């Protein structure tokens, strides 16, 4: 483990296609697409996607460490990634995330915007399929891992859909929402299944739940003190103009700069405080993997990112005249 195998790329089209597709199930995609949807498309769509994504990913991550099914053996499989190799394989959380995000986007928009349903269904299917196939190509999962992940995500979507609007309304209007949005994910993170060796699954789960918690608090705050969320629903899809594209790109890059800056600043600040409290050098990787350090470090950092994306960035957009 930890040593990348040498390999020869014989088909660069497949290589770059599936390397790119694999990135669609990682943080770089979550931190760009989900905020982009919130800033430029529809708040209600973004809220539902983030809620589904958080639930699906938590269940997927916990399932890995409960089932403890190993990843494909290498050799004979050549693994093109090393970071997640320490994790267990079943189910594929890339497959779960891709299925949840693509089909929740379809479900949330099909009754709100006018576009051919077949086109949306095809796009969702192609997106999720590319991510699933990328996990096979990169050698990180078996076919069963990928099918299992996609099926679990599909079942969760079916089960959650009837309560989708009720959950959304509750999170926007309940006075207990901010407290529960922080307390419940923290309890889940601190009570994450224990393993005999370190795996990045707990840290990744904390990152996801932290981002979801911060965003949910932001949703609630915006609904309480800004325009109510339901006041702007179902307005129809606007005509895309050149100026609108410029504004969308301006909102996106401005927001992306803010959340990346927030992430970097909070990482440095929170880690410095934890180093002082627990008396370990900032470069001590083993200390940073301890439960009492890893959970607050990642949770505070990424809840700040989620809050910044839903509250600070829209305020900045308004200040700059980008809305």
Active site residues: 94, 141
Chain center to CA of 236: 27
Residue pointed to by tokens 């809840």: 303
User: 187 near 203, Cβ under 8 Å?
Assistant: no
Nearest of 251, 259, 273 to residue 304 by alpha carbon: 259
The token pair that represents 29 in the structure block: 């995609």
Helix (H) / strand (E) containing 46: helix 43-67
Burial label, 10 (beta-carbon count in 10 A; 0-12, 13-18, 19+)? exposed
Return the HEC string of 197-241. Answer: CCCCHHHHHHHHHHHHHHHHHHHHHHHHHCCCHHHHCCCCCCCCC
d(CA 30, CA 38) in angstroms, rounded, equals: 12
The token pair that represents 39 in the structure block: 């800033």
**How is 242-290 classified by DSSP, letter by letter?**
HHHHHHHHHHHHHHHHHHHHHHHHHHHHHHHHHHHHHT--TT-HHHHTS
User: 209 near 58, Cβ under 8 Å?
Assistant: yes
The token pair that represents 62 in the structure block: 């916990």
User: 261 near 313, Cβ under 8 Å?
Assistant: no
């Amino acid at each position: 483990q930890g040593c990348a195998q040498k390999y020869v790329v014989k088909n660069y089209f497949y290589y770059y296609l599936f390397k790119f597709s694999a990135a669609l199930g990682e943080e770089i995609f979550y931190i760009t697409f989900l905020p982009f949807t919130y800033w430029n498309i529809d708040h209600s769509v973004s809220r539902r996607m983030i809620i589904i994504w958080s639930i699906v990913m938590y269940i997927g991550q916990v399932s890995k460490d409960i089932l403890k099914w190993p990843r494909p053996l290498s050799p004979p499989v050549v693994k093109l990634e090393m970071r997640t190799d320490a994790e267990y394989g079943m189910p594929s959380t890339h497959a779960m995330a891709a299925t949840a995000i693509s089909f929740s986007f379809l479900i949330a928009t099909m009754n709100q915007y006018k576009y051919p349903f077949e086109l949306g269904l095809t796009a969702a299917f192609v997106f999720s399929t590319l991510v699933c196939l990328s996990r096979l190509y990169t050698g990180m999962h078996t076919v069963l891992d990928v099918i299992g992940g996609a099926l679990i995500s599909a079942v969760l979507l079916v089960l959650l859909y009837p309560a989708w609007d009720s959950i959304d309304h509750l999170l926007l209007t309940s006075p207990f929402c901010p407290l529960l949005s922080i307390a419940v994910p923290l309890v889940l993170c601190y009570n994450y299944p224990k393993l005999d060796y370190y795996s990045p699954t707990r840290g990744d789960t904390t990152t996801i739940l932290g981002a979801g918690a911060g965003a949910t608090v932001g949703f609630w705050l915006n609904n309480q003190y800004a325009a109510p969320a339901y006041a702007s629903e179902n307005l129809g899809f606007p005509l895309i103009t050149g100026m609108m594209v410029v504004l969308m790109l301006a909102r996106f890059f401005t927001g992306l700069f803010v959340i990346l800056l927030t992430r970097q600043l909070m990482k440095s600040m929170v880690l410095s405080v934890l180093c002082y409290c627990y008396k370990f050098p900032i470069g001590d990787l083993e200390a940073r993997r301890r439960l009492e350090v890893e959970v607050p470090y990642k949770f505070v950092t990424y809840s700040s990112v989620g809050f910044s994306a839903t509250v600070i960035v829209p305020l900045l957009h308004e200040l700059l005249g980008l809305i």
